[in-house]
Amino acid sequence: MDKFIIRKMLESDLDEIIQIEKRVFPDAWEREMFYSEIREHDSKVLIDTSKSKIIGYICGWKIIDEYLINNVAIDLPYRKKGLGQYFLSEIISEQIKQGVTKFFLEVRVTNIGAINLYKKLGFKELRVRKKYYKDPVEDAFEMGAFYGN
């Protein structure tokens, strides 16, 4: 993973991120949603340093000892190479060092790739949230992972 680095997301990253977001999600976030994540929370990007290119990102909210993952993606050409697992484990380790013990997220019930990844990282399905997603309408699993305590 030597050629990949993780750093804070900046407003100047948003042109690249929005392009990935549109490729990846049918219900892509608008630019404004990323602005508030950058201003009010601690979002991160994964960079391929050999190409000076953003290849993934994560937006999360730390609330005392909880961390809520709101958005995570790896760009299409970089999938299935262990990068999603690497990126998320690094974020989780960093948050644990800062006192987080509980992680939560929602995921489309048909998003098997992401669900498998989260399970590998210790997440469990907690409940189904009916019609949580729009475009297309779909149920979500709320998943959680609990460390320490």
Regarding 114 and contact with ligand COA (CB under 6 A), the answer is: yes
Query: CB–CB of 54/5 below 8 Å?
Result: no
Alpha-carbon span 32 to 135, nearest angstrom = 19
Regarding 85 and contact with ligand COA (CB under 6 A), the answer is: yes
Choice between 33 and 99, CB closer to ligand COA: 33
Per-residue 3-state assignment (H helix, E strand, C coil) for 59-90: EEEEECCEEEEEEEEECHHHCCCCHHHHHHHH
Q: Report the sign of the C-alpha dihedral through residues 69, 73, 79, 81, in that order.
A: negative
What is the contact mask toward ligand COA in residues 116 to 145, using x (rule: CB under 6 A)? xx--x-------------------------
Residue 140 Cβ vs ligand COA, minimum distance, rounded to whole Å:
8
Regarding 5 and contact with ligand COA (CB under 6 A), the answer is: no
Choose one: 26-34, 36-44, 71-79, 90-98; the region binding ligand COA (CB under 6 A): 71-79
